[in-house]
A and B are shown apart, each in its own frame.
Chain A
């Protein structure tokens, strides 16, 4: 169990989650949708959230967990304030995306899939955001950075560090 961070949810988050569950409970195959919404509310899917979902949908926790761990978009870890998502799709790969990722890891001192201790950045890789014309591409939250080279990384990250 890699759930180091202490989970604390606000009343508002919990009531949002309950509303989502109540609204879609009767729709066949609703589990995925609820998990997606829940991740939107909490940023990740800790055991507490999955337990609520399992209880309300009357399915076993192991089934919920099985679904969560199957899909790469679901996260058991809290993400950074700035979520870096490096595209490792083919078009980006042949244009050197792996070297850019290496540089990001070096700059932040963390590996892909991790979050910096200060909670500022987390890094993940993804498969094709569809902006192949700009390869290699990364996204930081909703901002897209294209035609990247390793030496551009520090400057981009500093921009976010300054804002905090």
Chain B
């Protein structure tokens, strides 16, 4: 493909894409040029396909046909972010944002809205787009989207990721064209350095410096790798990018290849992401057909190709040296650094490894300039960060905000607060390697350095919101269970330390802990931090240390008072029946699996605490709220 051909493709679908980005009125004007009266975007990301968005699309096709509508374009896109309300469907140019669609809803929308002269079906819209006085606002103005700034996710939910023409029209490969035709490798590195971009995989190492080091390593063969082994449970930023805009990753890797002198790239992606793998394969095929990967790209003489490698379920493979070992076909055990991959990486050759979200930032930096990017966010953390917001929060989903946004803005505004009127307790960031941010730090601006300062870390971007019903000892136990299971077992502090730490925490959650155990826990945590071989072991104690720091009293309660205030730790709970509320309906007695409840009809019942296994069935069955757990 030549540059002219690339430009022709870009122009051909330009308006089609612009309709989806324009405000309503402009969009309507633009729509006329596209030949489509309307465009209907349906999310085809994992979140929405899990809630059956494929059936939504099938129904849409069927209903349009039945109603004789042939001037509407259906686009299966990547993630819109608001996963909790999937399947999501947006109609342009008016930008009507329908949520939780079912095939029946689709029929209604087609018949009432999509037919010529139809009107938006208000009751099926995402309620956030309807103001109190009944007006419909664009979804970009809703609380969920208003404070977001989409750089890495710029094309997610905008384009059809399985159509390379749409990706090109949306701007993909423009940066590659610019780099190959107007920039030297040093120019690219200077731009990267000036942008202040830091690795989005967790550690936050300056990307430009990584590129510079790898370029400086002398070797006939070098590699560019993409870390798409998003293993942090509860994080799905990278998956959404791969599903929504796979080409932006290829493009960035090719730019890096040109910069450091590599001809081959590898994407190591979790096998647990079948949708992403499928999209990547489709995109790879299209990019090769267009000659945007392969030999002599855009006629510039630059060769670069990419191979996919699938993980097989090992969190530690997110660590760079383990990832490279895994691509080489071995057990994914990390090795000590130095030498760093920039010097000795894949197959012993200098290797540049960045994670998906980092790659997704490259095109905008090249196209808009380093200064533009550096101006976003905070001084030491420029740009934006994508977070996977989950746990006890109303708007579970994917959000991208400028660095420096406070946790309060994310939780209360974007996230829509805690459901069921519960109180915010803490946010867990960085997953098993991170820590918690307690309510008292809710106004801390979120960037790399301030999170480290309060004992957490950015991590790859998982953000789990915890409320008053979450027990912090239980949460740190949960993470230790995870790291103990995912430890590769190579170095002593992590192999045995995670297990012993988990045992000590388990002891505490069972009410058998002692104050001496707390000392041991701290000692062990510090040991693992200082002496483990890789980042997994070094950061595994973080959830424990940070909860110990902010919620020490909860640990002490478990130990001294044998009490779990959140009511999570089973061994410390007891169920009882409040006699004045009990109507003697016998429902609890009949449902108790171990016969621990006795009583006669219409008389208050009693739970035998020795027999009770604390399964909670009685409580869920009682219609009078007579059963309490303490």
Q: Does A28 contact B (CB under 8 A)?
A: yes
- The answer on a CB contact under 8 Å between A133 and B464 is no
Contacts of B311 in A (CB 8 A): 71
Neighbour of A29 across the interface among B234, B329, B488, CB < 8 A: B329
- The answer on a CB contact under 8 Å between B396 and A132 is yes
Q: Does A78 contact B (CB under 8 A)?
A: no
Neighbour of A71 across the interface among B46, B312, B478, CB < 8 A: B312
Q: Does B511 contact A (CB under 8 A)?
A: no
Q: Does B313 contact A (CB under 8 A)?
A: yes
Q: Does A156 contact B (CB under 8 A)?
A: no
Q: Which residue of A lies closest to B276 (CB)?
A: A130
Neighbour of A132 across the interface among B83, B331, B475, CB < 8 A: B83
At the interface with chain B, which of A3-11, A30-38, A109-117? Answer: A30-38
- The answer on a CB contact under 8 Å between A134 and B234 is no
Q: Does B359 contact A (CB under 8 A)?
A: no
Q: Does A88 contact B (CB under 8 A)?
A: yes
Q: Which residue of B lies closest to A68 (CB)?
A: B312
Contacts A67-B329, A132-B396; is A90 near B310 (CB within 8 Å)? no
A73 to chain B, nearest CB (A): 4
B416 to chain A, nearest CB (A): 13
Give Cα distance in the complex from A90 to B465, angstroms: 10
Give Cα distance in the complex from A132 to B395, angstroms: 11
Contacts of B333 in A (CB 8 A): 70
Contacts A127-B233, A130-B47, A133-B86; is A28 near B313 (CB within 8 Å)? no
- The answer on a CB contact under 8 Å between A94 and B310 is no
Q: Does B326 contact A (CB under 8 A)?
A: yes
- The answer on a CB contact under 8 Å between B388 and A132 is yes
Q: Does A47 contact B (CB under 8 A)?
A: no
Q: Does A43 contact B (CB under 8 A)?
A: no
**What is the interface size of chain A, counting residues whose CB is below 8 A from a CB of the partner?**
36
Contacts A71-B332, A94-B464, A133-B397; is A28 near B315 (CB within 8 Å)? no
Give Cα distance in the complex from A88 to B272, angstroms: 13
Q: Does B558 contact A (CB under 8 A)?
A: no
A44 to chain B, nearest CB (A): 13
Contacts A70-B331, A127-B482, A134-B51; is A32 near B233 (CB within 8 Å)? no
- The answer on a CB contact under 8 Å between B236 and A90 is no
Neighbour of A130 across the interface among B51, B273, B392, B428, CB < 8 A: B273
A40 to chain B, nearest CB (A): 11
- The answer on a CB contact under 8 Å between A144 and B231 is no
Q: Does B235 contact A (CB under 8 A)?
A: yes
Contacts A71-B313, A91-B391, A128-B236; is A135 near B329 (CB within 8 Å)? no
- The answer on a CB contact under 8 Å between B315 and A146 is no
- The answer on a CB contact under 8 Å between B390 and A90 is yes
Q: Does B261 contact A (CB under 8 A)?
A: no
Q: Does B492 contact A (CB under 8 A)?
A: no
- The answer on a CB contact under 8 Å between B233 and A89 is yes
- The answer on a CB contact under 8 Å between A33 and B46 is no
- The answer on a CB contact under 8 Å between A33 and B309 is yes
Q: Does B470 contact A (CB under 8 A)?
A: yes
Contacts of B47 in A (CB 8 A): 130-134
- The answer on a CB contact under 8 Å between B347 and A132 is no
Most buried by B among A29, A73, A144: A29
Q: Does A26 contact B (CB under 8 A)?
A: no
Q: Does A108 contact B (CB under 8 A)?
A: no
A46-89 interface code vs B (CB 8 A; 1 in, 0 out): 00000000000000000000110011111000000000000011
Neighbour of A127 across the interface among B50, B315, B347, B466, CB < 8 A: B315
Contacts A36-B271, A134-B83; is A128 near B332 (CB within 8 Å)? no
- The answer on a CB contact under 8 Å between A90 and B233 is yes
Q: Does A126 contact B (CB under 8 A)?
A: yes
Contacts of A132 in B (CB 8 A): 47, 83, 234, 236, 388, 390, 396
Q: Which residue of A lies closest to B315 (CB)?
A: A127
Q: Does A100 contact B (CB under 8 A)?
A: no
B421-448 interface code vs A (CB 8 A; 1 in, 0 out): 0000000100100000000000000000
- The answer on a CB contact under 8 Å between A90 and B329 is no
- The answer on a CB contact under 8 Å between B231 and A127 is yes
Q: Does A129 contact B (CB under 8 A)?
A: yes
Q: Does B330 contact A (CB under 8 A)?
A: yes
- The answer on a CB contact under 8 Å between B329 and A32 is yes
Contacts of A72 in B (CB 8 A): 312-314
B566 to chain A, nearest CB (A): 11
Contacts of A128 in B (CB 8 A): 231-236, 272
Contacts A88-B233, A132-B388, A133-B83; is A93 near B478 (CB within 8 Å)? yes
Q: Does A137 contact B (CB under 8 A)?
A: yes
Residues facing B in A115-129 (CB within 8 A) are 126-129
Residues facing A in B440-475 (CB within 8 A) are 462, 464, 466, 470, 475
Q: Which residue of A lies closest to B397 (CB)?
A: A133
B176-215 interface code vs A (CB 8 A; 1 in, 0 out): 0000000000000000000000000000000000000000
Give Cα distance in the complex from A70 to B329, angstroms: 12
Contacts of B50 in A (CB 8 A): 129, 131, 134, 137, 144, 146
- The answer on a CB contact under 8 Å between B83 and A131 is yes
Q: Does B20 contact A (CB under 8 A)?
A: no
Contacts A33-B309, A127-B482, A132-B83; is A91 near B51 (CB within 8 Å)? no
Contacts A130-B272, A132-B388, A144-B50; is A90 near B315 (CB within 8 Å)? no
- The answer on a CB contact under 8 Å between A89 and B271 is no
Most buried by A among B46, B234, B239, B309: B234
A14 to chain B, nearest CB (A): 22
- The answer on a CB contact under 8 Å between B328 and A29 is yes
Contacts A36-B271, A90-B390, A90-B431; is A130 near B312 (CB within 8 Å)? no
Q: Does B327 contact A (CB under 8 A)?
A: yes
Residues facing A in B289-323 (CB within 8 A) are 309-315
- The answer on a CB contact under 8 Å between B466 and A91 is no
- The answer on a CB contact under 8 Å between A90 and B312 is no
Give Cα distance in the complex from A36 to B326, angstroms: 13
Q: Does B6 contact A (CB under 8 A)?
A: no
Contacts of B85 in A (CB 8 A): 133
- The answer on a CB contact under 8 Å between B271 and A73 is yes
Contacts of B328 in A (CB 8 A): 28-29
Contacts of B314 in A (CB 8 A): 70-72
- The answer on a CB contact under 8 Å between A130 and B46 is yes
- The answer on a CB contact under 8 Å between A32 and B309 is yes
Most buried by A among B232, B311, B396, B428: B396
B344 to chain A, nearest CB (A): 16
Contacts of A144 in B (CB 8 A): 49-51
Since A29-B327, A91-B233 are in contact, a sample of 6 more A-B pairs with Cβ atoms closer than 8 Å, ordered by chain A residue number, is: A91-B234, A91-B396, A128-B233, A130-B47, A130-B272, A131-B46
9 A/B residue pairs, CB under 8 Å, sorted by A: A36-B310, A36-B312, A67-B329, A70-B331, A73-B272, A94-B470, A131-B83, A133-B83, A133-B397
B residues neighboring A (CB under 8 Å):
46-47, 49-51, 82-86, 231-236, 239, 271-273, 309-315, 326-333, 347, 388, 390-392, 396-397, 428, 431, 462, 464, 466, 470, 475, 478, 482, 488, 620
3 closest A-B pairs by beta carbon, nearest first, are: A133-B83, A89-B233, A90-B234
